[in-house]
Structure 1
């Protein structure tokens, strides 16, 4: 077997789908291993159905736990699977614990590692994802970067130039391939949502683990809802904290269960603006042209600010969120990026370019 794809959380599935499809068109032997890091039906299986991903060849079912517990369980299960399956290269995606666990395990077994979305940096080591990114890139034989800033970070860290490839963003491949399926009006009707709303998604530890921060965040969201309805699919990671802080107590805050990929992007597409702390949503809103307010002091995706619709909102600015959302919803730009700017190579062909890098002998006849 040439390639073994490691996926474990919903962002991985979206990034892997176009790569799996492009390698499949070349007739390359490959398998998909699901670690089970996201195991809930609404966070996992529905994404495979939505994206047309093949049924995983294995599912480790590791579930949740502390970072150490989860990473240890991942490495134990992955070592067994890698030894039995003997892939030439393990392909990992993004920055979740499944990503770094697979890179560590493969490196120790002498198996090649290719990292899709290499080189992203927030330069904030308090983020678990940042640690995962740095470690994974140090262990990767092939670094597949989504943007020029990611290439520069890898070069600055001493990664040899022949290991770095600027290929674009496969998440955008998935987005553009499904544009006609994102029915914002149909979703609105099915869930009884108002015609005008702001979509919100919040789950990062810095925002949901500290009760005082959650209280300030809920106050800010309620302030937004005083002006425009807020629709929020609630990530399991933050549900208890938001419930305790009374997020759903405002009559214009509409809380939903987690949505599958198609429904979630439809929700984003129909929104007047988006409030988020997600990395992927910053990218999707950039392509969809939806104003995005990212509740973080930094981002590993600065290209969504310079070439997109994104603006950072620090914790100190939470009280200003209602005014910022109102500005965005009225059509005023939230940053200085040119209208309609799109990052280079975010064109729906990243999966093909990745396949060209990984299997050059069987690349496209008409690249």
Structure 2
């Protein structure tokens, strides 16, 4: 019914949903929403700010979105060092400011996600252009302005400049009460649920022939402070003495490991295999077969809670609730502590993950269709 109403009302006006994104995690979590929009016959486009460029085409192909219309606000190399942040941010800001009247004349709503610079830029552009801003994954908080930094500040700014908040559950919704103007839509779960469903399909997860663990470290506070990075690497080396580790390297992490001389040390370690980043579907299957995972990624925490894989989060704080107290725990970069934790981790039983409940992406797409109808 919504599909028919939309086509009757908005087809001639060519109103379009704009997804403004810049990172792999944002693309992964919004891809199921774009697919759900396509199923309703809604027009979609992507403005790409390009913090991450590595394997983006592979991700689009994984989700069947390789034909999605997209326009880049940034044309330079991947932002994998502090020195590239300022020129990247300035180019994105200048490009969007110069062209926002032309670009946004055709948009009925701007959809953004999460807590990055792209999220804030989307909210600012929507407010400046008078176009509704819809924020996916709204309401997550750490309640610590400096940790994670600058993500917590980015979220607060985005809350203030948004019009619609798609929040994943009651806890996140309660964090938005002070923003009275927001239209709050409870998606029940995070859209990562749909991404994992698509990645695994109906496959039964069989245990690997040899046990292994996965490591993924990339956050600013972990890789750009040399003392902490060295402590983390020492902890990972200690873990590799117990279980072989497959270390998936972000480009920024690889660059920092090279600069600090730690990359060669890891390459020489018999228990550590260094892997380049890969497509999302392949990565999820890698995670699903792991004995445990060491990570500092919020999205990984969410994915692994669905997969029921023990997760050691190398952070002091997390704004995510998924898995805490069951599959996930915060850990310090301490080799002794890590050895003790790994020895007591439960063994995951091989089974098909039970990922139930309504589709958050479908809930969002249905609502976006209504937003477009109102804009006609």
TM-score, normalised to structure 1, is 0.85
Q: Distance in 1 between matches of 2:372 and 2:150?
A: 37
What is the match of residue 336 of structure 1? none
Q: Provide the alpha-carbon RMSD of the alignment.
A: 2.6
Indicate if the aligned counterparts of 1:182 and 1:266 stay in contact, CA closer than 8 A: no
1:133-144 → structure 2 map (5 Å cutoff):
133-144=155-166
Compared with structure 1, are the counterparts of its residues 102 and 182 closer, same or farther at alpha carbon in structure 2 (3 Å cutoff)? Answer: farther
Partner in structure 2 of residue 357 of structure 1: 367
Q: Aligned equivalents of 1:142 and 1:321: distance in 2?
A: 41
**Counterpart selection for 1:124 from 125, 139, 144:** 144
Q: 1:181 to 1:38 in 2, by over 3 A?
A: farther
> Does residue 290 of the first structure (1) align with residue 301 of the second (2)?
no
C-alpha deviations, 1:43-69, integer Å up to 9, x for none?
Answer: x11111111123333122344255444
How far apart in 2 are the matches of 1:93 and 1:162? 15
Q: Select which of 263, 266, 269 maps to 1:247.
A: 266
Q: 1:348 Cα shift?
A: 5.5
Q: Report what 1:52 is aligned to.
A: 64
Q: 1:208 aligns with which of 223, 227, 247?
A: 223
- Kept after mapping to 2: 8 A contact 1:71/1:101: no
Alignment check: 8 A CA contact 1:172 1:348 kept: no
Distance 1:148 1:105, change over 3 A: same
Matched, 1:170 2:184: no
CA distance in 2, matches of 1:275, 1:81: 42
Question: Is the Cα contact below 8 Å between 2:114 and 2:137 reproduced in 1?
Answer: yes
Matched, 1:347 2:357: yes
2-side partners of 1:77 and 1:291: how far apart?
43
* 13, 19, 40: which one aligns with 1:5: 19
> Matches of 1:331 and 1:144 in 2, distance apart?
32
Q: Secondary structure at the match of 1:165?
A: strand
In structure 2, what is the equivalent of residue 268 of structure 1? 287
Q: 2-side partners of 1:28 and 1:291: how far apart?
A: 39
Would you say the 8 A contact 1:145–1:165 is kept in 2? yes
Secondary structure at 2:20's aligned position in 1? strand
Kept in 2, the 8 Å contact 1:221–1:322? The answer is no
Instruction: State how far apart, in whole Å, the 2-side matches of 1:182 and 1:129 are.
Output: 35
Deviation string, structure 1 residues 200-223 (Cα, Å, up to 9, x no partner): 100111111111111111111111
Alpha-carbon separation, structure 1, partners of 2:336 and 2:171: 31
Alignment partner of 1:149 out of 147, 168, 171? 171
Aligned CA distance change for structure 1 residues 16 and 341 (closer, same or farther; 3 Å): closer
Give the paired residue count. 341
Between stretches 270-279 and 244-253, larger displacement belongs to 244-253
CA distance in 1, matches of 2:341, 2:166: 35
1:312-351 alignment runs, 5 A limit = 312-315=330-333, 317=334, 319-328=336-345, 330=347, 347=357, 349-351=359-361
Contact kept in structure 1, 2:295 and 2:313, CA below 8 Å: yes
